[in-house]
């Protein structure tokens, strides 16, 4: 992707999801067809109000415009069925080709993909720039799986960042919650010290482990996105994160179209969270440009 534009003024959301209308109009039918029960339980939980917002691409683009968001990373999903990963990568390929200046495509992978490296090479050629959102444990595996490692090596070689979903060991129970052990992330970082690892959802507060001098060197290539944080933590988190790990490691992200302010809003947007961070974290101009776009862009391959 061309980098002729001035990066400094770009606002980039590091973690969004987008679905075609065939999915958003009838998630139950899609889940039944693709055998995606875990995903369905998250987006349409039984006996509980859903936090998922459903929007079409046009609405997403107009919401981005309303918040002055120039670009959004389209995160894939940790589908249980490898075929769904390929299907979603096809959607992303279409959308980044339609609006290359607006969308940054990340690829979905599965430890049971037949030829994972062929799939990644194909997506690389289509202009994808990372892998995520990953959760190999939901897919019945872990980052230690051999095929998984080969995908991580691919990411390392191409300079692609990899975004992982993170579940805290304690603190938030929700239907379909599957642990993502911190130990496995540390293991991965030791195996592949050059791999750029983005832990989603403020890393489940994992960033505070950077205060442990024994761990800090191991965590040098860890970054933390803020997706869904308003649902999980107090707003005082944002300033504390910057102070603990440094401004260069924090990536603004929403998890759009998740409704991360269910009490005050019916529909998802980008603006509310953007404004809250600005108010709460008291960011300097440099911090603001780093967190709202520069950091993410600097993680993308050249």
CB of 39 to Zn ion, least distance (A): 11
Name the residue nearer to Zn ion (CB basis): 229 or 283.
229
For the segment 139-178, give every residue that binds Zn ion (CB under 5 A).
Answer: 165
User: With the CA atoms of 147, 153, 156 and 157 taken in that order, what torsion angle do they form, in degrees rounded to the nearest 10?
Assistant: -120
Closest CB to Zn ion among 123 and 165? Answer: 165
Instruction: Considering the complex, state which of residue 131 and residue 200 has its C-beta at the smaller distance from Zn ion.
Output: 200
Residue 50 · residue 107 · CB < 8 Å: no
DSSP 49: -
Of 148 and 283, CB closest to Zn ion:
148
Closest of 19, 24, 59 to residue 44, by C-alpha = 24
Distance (Å, rounded) from C-alpha 48 to C-alpha 196?
36
Q: How far is the CB of 115 from Zn ion (least distance, A)?
A: 26
Residue numbers 176-205 binding Zn ion by CB under 5 A: 200
∠ CA 13-266-21, rounded to 5°: 65
- Is 102 near Zn ion (CB under 5 A)? no
CB of 201 to Zn ion, least distance (A): 6
Compute the least distance from the CB of residue 165 to Zn ion, in Å.
4
Residue 114 C-beta: closest distance to Zn ion, Å: 26
Q: Which is nearer to Zn ion, 123 or 135 (CB)?
A: 135
Given the complex with Zn ion, which of 260 and 283 has the nearer CB atom?
260
By beta-carbon proximity to Zn ion, the closer residue of 86 and 200 is 200
The vertex-201 CA angle with 198 and 202, nearest 5°, equals: 75
Query: Least CB distance from residue 86 to Zn ion, whole Å?
Result: 20
Place of tokens 């205060």: 211
CA torsion angle for 38, 173, 136, 261 (degrees, to 10)? 80
Structure-block tokens of residue 270? 């980008």
Residue 78 C-beta: closest distance to Zn ion, Å: 8
Q: How many CB atoms lie within 10 A of CB 120?
A: 22
Residues 164 and 185: beta-carbon distance below 8 Å: yes
122 — phi, psi (to 5°)? -60, -45
Residues across the chain: 302
Q: Which residue is closest to Zn ion by CB?
A: 165
> With contacts defined by CB under 5 A, how many residues of the chain interact with Zn ion?
2
Which residues of the shown chain bind Zn ion in the complex (CB under 5 A)? 165, 200
């Amino acid at each position: 992707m061309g980098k002729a534009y001035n990066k400094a003024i770009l606002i980039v959301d590091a973690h969004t999801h987008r679905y075609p209308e065939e999915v958003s109009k009838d998630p139950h039918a899609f889940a039944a067809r693709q055998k995606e029960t875990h995903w369905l339980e998250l987006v349409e939980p039984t006996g509980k109000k859903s936090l998922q917002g459903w929007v079409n691409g046009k609405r997403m683009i107009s919401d981005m415009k309303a918040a002055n968001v120039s670009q959004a990373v389209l995160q894939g999903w940790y589908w249980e069925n490898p075929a769904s990963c390929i299907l979603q990568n096809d959607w992303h390929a279409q959308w980044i080709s339609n609006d290359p200046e607006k969308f940054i495509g990340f690829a979905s992978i599965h430890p049971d993909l037949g030829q994972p490296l062929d799939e990644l090479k194909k997506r690389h050629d289509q202009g994808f720039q990372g892998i995520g959102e990953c959760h190999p444990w939901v897919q019945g595996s872990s980052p230690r799986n051999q095929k998984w490692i080969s995908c991580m090596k691919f990411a390392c070689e191409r300079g692609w960042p990899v975004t992982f979903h993170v579940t805290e060991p304690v603190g938030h129970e929700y239907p379909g919650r599957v642990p993502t052990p911190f130990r496995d992330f540390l293991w991965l970082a030791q195996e592949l010290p050059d791999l750029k690892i983005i832990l989603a959802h403020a890393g489940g507060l994992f960033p505070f482990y950077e205060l442990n001098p024994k761990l800090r060197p191991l965590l040098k290539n860890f970054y933390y996105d803020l997706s869904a944080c308003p649902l999980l933590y107090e707003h005082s988190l944002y300033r504390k994160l910057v102070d603990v790990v440094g401004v260069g490691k924090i990536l603004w992200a929403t998890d759009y179209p998740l409704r991360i302010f269910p009490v005050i809003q019916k529909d998802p947007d980008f603006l509310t969270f953007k404004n809250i961070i600005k108010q709460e974290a008291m960011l300097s101009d440099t911090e603001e440009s780093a967190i709202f776009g520069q950091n993410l862009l600097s993680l993308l391959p050249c």
